[in-house]
């Protein structure tokens, strides 16, 4: 008798659970959004991050919150993504903040500023150093809310059709370079060019530009730059850790139910970690292949590095004198960077330096 009563009670509980779950699911709204990426589908580490984000959000919400990614150019172009989000043409974008320095140079700090924070330091600043708060106070002026969504790590210095050994070699050089870095190298005589990723190869091939930076070995190999510009320089001092963001239309973000906001925040964090891990895992083999195919690795000379550092600091002082938003963020980043390197020189650098030398000994 007791056994029969137990089974009846258990069955009733299971039945109630079966009814309750759909009832809860039905209480959540169906949400359908569009996401415009700043990148073509061929760049799987960059465009793929948006796909990973959308898939994670869908799985976390049992398919109730669906986000459809579109490659650059399918809805709007690379450099129109921010406006498209701000005016609600699309609900969100996945792109690089520094593409919009033409609107305000403060946008640079959301991605990378010359001689700024590396990838780990940028994450630390964003998540635990007040970076997300200060940047979103700025982004609010453009009707968007942003969450970190990927990082390439320190990038390469780019592909050059000829060697550059001195600052004089840079003068008159037509260089595809994004963000504030273009204004820095302009101080050294470079003629900066802003060219979307898919258009760089033909521009190099035709000689419309003399050099181009993109990301690093994995993506650069896909785009074939080594076939038209043999000299591969490093480091990319203007992108010490290039962060991407998911930009949300501010009004649309605020309309989301709390569980959907939580799902999007968690998915963005996953995408942020995954992109850096993907590049770190794939760049070594890609670099080997590029060198094997004839790419000639070259470090920027100490002269060029010192001149670039000096030019960057001059530019920061000039912009800070007339742009309070820029000054506020720059001072926060500079203070955080100095503290970070106090630790990194003790921990990370000393260990990495030893292991690099140990590797060379075999």
DSSP H helical segments within 28-104, as ranges? 44-60, 81-86
- Predicted confidence at residue 109, as pLDDT, reads 97
- What DSSP string runs through 154-187? SPP-EEESS---SGGGGTT-EEE--TTHHHHHHT
Nearest to 50 by CA among 71, 66, 65: 71
- Contact assessment for residue 82 and residue 142, using Cβ atoms and an 8 Å cutoff: yes
- Predicted confidence at residue 26, as pLDDT, reads 59
101-138 pLDDT per residue, tens: 999 999 999 999 999 999 999 999 999 999 999 999 99
- Predicted confidence at residue 355, as pLDDT, reads 95
Distant-in-sequence, close-in-space partners of 225: CB < 8 Å, separation ≥ 6: 159, 200, 201, 204, 212, 214
205-236 pLDDT per residue, tens: 999 999 999 999 999 999 999 999 999 999 99
The DSSP code for 352 is H
- Contact assessment for residue 67 and residue 53, using Cβ atoms and an 8 Å cutoff: yes
Looking at the chain, the whole-number percentage of residues with pLDDT higher than 70 is 93
Structure token digits, residue 44: 């799987």
Q: Is the pLDDT of residue 354 over 90?
A: yes
The SS3 call for residue 69 is strand
Q: What is the pTM of this model?
A: 0.90
Q: Measured between alpha carbons, how far is 362 from 347 in angstroms, rounded to an integer? A: 23
Q: Is the pLDDT of residue 268 over 50?
A: yes
The arithmetic mean of pLDDT across residues 39-46, rounded, is: 93
Q: Measured between alpha carbons, how far is 319 from 325 in angstroms, rounded to an integer? A: 10
- Contact assessment for residue 99 and residue 113, using Cβ atoms and an 8 Å cutoff: no
Q: Measured between alpha carbons, how far is 163 from 76 in angstroms, rounded to an integer? A: 36
C-beta atoms surrounding 82 within 10 Å: 26
Q: Where are the beta strands (DSSP E) in 15-95?
A: 31-37, 65-70, 92-95
pLDDT category, 25, cuts 50, 70, 90? low
The arithmetic mean of pLDDT across residues 252-277, rounded, is: 98
Cis before 225? omega within 30: no
Looking at the chain, the whole-number percentage of residues with pLDDT higher than 90 is 89
The arithmetic mean of pLDDT across residues 293-318, rounded, is: 98
pLDDT category, 194, cuts 50, 70, 90? confident
DSSP H helical segments within 28-130, as ranges? 44-60, 81-86, 119-128
């Amino acid at each position: 008798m007791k056994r029969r009563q137990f089974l009846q009670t258990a069955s009733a509980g299971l039945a109630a659970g079966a009814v309750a779950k759909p009832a809860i699911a039905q209480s959540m709204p169906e949400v359908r959004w569009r996401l415009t990426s700043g990148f073509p589908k061929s760049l799987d580490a960059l465009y793929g991050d948006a796909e990973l984000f959308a898939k994670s959000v869908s799985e976390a919400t049992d398919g109730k919150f669906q986000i459809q990614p579109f490659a650059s150019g399918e809805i709007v172009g690379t450099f129109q993504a921010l406006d498209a989000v701000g005016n609600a043409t699309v609900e969100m974008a996945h792109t690089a903040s520094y593409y919009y320095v033409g609107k305000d140079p403060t946008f640079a700090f959301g991605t990378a500023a010359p001689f700024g924070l590396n990838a780990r330091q940028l994450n630390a600043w964003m998540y635990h150093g007040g970076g997300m708060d200060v940047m979103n106070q700025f982004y609010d002026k453009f009707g968007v809310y942003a969450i970190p969504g990927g990082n390439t790590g320190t990038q390469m210095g780019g592909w050059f059709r000829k060697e550059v050994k001195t600052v004089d070699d840079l003068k008159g050089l037509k260089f595809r370079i994004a963000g504030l870095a273009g204004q820095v190298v302009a101080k050294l005589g470079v003629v900066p060019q802003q060219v979307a990723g898919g258009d760089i190869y033909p521009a190099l091939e035709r000689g419309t530009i003399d050099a181009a930076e993109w990301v690093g070995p994995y993506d650069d190999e896909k785009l074939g730059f080594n076939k038209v510009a043999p000299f591969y320089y490093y480091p990319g001092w203007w992108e010490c850790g290039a962060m991407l963001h998911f930009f949300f239309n501010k009004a649309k973000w605020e309309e989301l139910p709390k569980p959907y906001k939580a799902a999007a925040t968690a998915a963005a964090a996953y995408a942020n970690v995954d992109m850096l891990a993907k590049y770190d895992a794939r760049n070594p083999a890609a670099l080997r292949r590029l060198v094997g195919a004839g790419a000639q690795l070259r470090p920027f000379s100490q002269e060029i590095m010192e001149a670039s550092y000096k030019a960057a600091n001059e530019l920061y002082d000039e912009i800070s004198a007339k742009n309070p938003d820029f000054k506020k963020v720059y001072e926060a980043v500079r203070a955080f960077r100095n503290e970070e390197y106090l630790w990194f020189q003790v921990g990370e650098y000393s260990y990495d330096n030893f292991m690099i030398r140990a590797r060379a000994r075999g």
